[in-house]
Amino acid sequence: MTATSPLDPIIHAPARLRLVAALSALADGDRLSFTSLQKLLDMTGGNLSTHLRRLEDAGYVQVTKSHVGRTPATNVALTRAGRLAFEDYTAALRALLGSAATEGGTA
């Protein structure tokens, strides 16, 4: 652990952590529709869009827009960078837990 936060600030917010965790549960090469994601996370569309944009700017998610017939469909997936960042994040959490366990007596 360095002096700076070991936890990725892009992921380290409850809403985005849930969002990234949900996307991480998809199989490789899968995308989830915006509406399913919204239902899954119980978020408003605007709220979800805001968090998605932040993740998209960081290169962690890819948002694709397509059309099913005439209705526009938005799909979301973690990018490789996003999956890696999420894995690093969980590893950092485990490390925090691990160091807490080994130093448990000194705290």
Q: Which residues bind other proteins (CB under 8 A)?
A: 1, 3-7, 9, 12-14, 17-18, 21-22, 24-33, 35-37, 39-40, 50, 54, 75, 77, 90, 93-94, 96-97, 99-101, 103-104, 106-107
> 3-class DSSP state for residue 90?
helix
For the record, the structure tokens of 100 come out as 């807490």
Report in angstroms how near the CB of residue 2 gets to other proteins at its nearest.
Answer: 9
Within 8 A by CB and 6+ apart from 55, the residues are: 10, 16, 19, 20, 61, 82
Report in angstroms how near the CB of residue 65 gets to other proteins at its nearest.
Answer: 12
| Pairwise CA distance, residues 3 & 25, whole Å | 31
Report in angstroms how near the CB of residue 96 gets to other proteins at its nearest.
Answer: 4
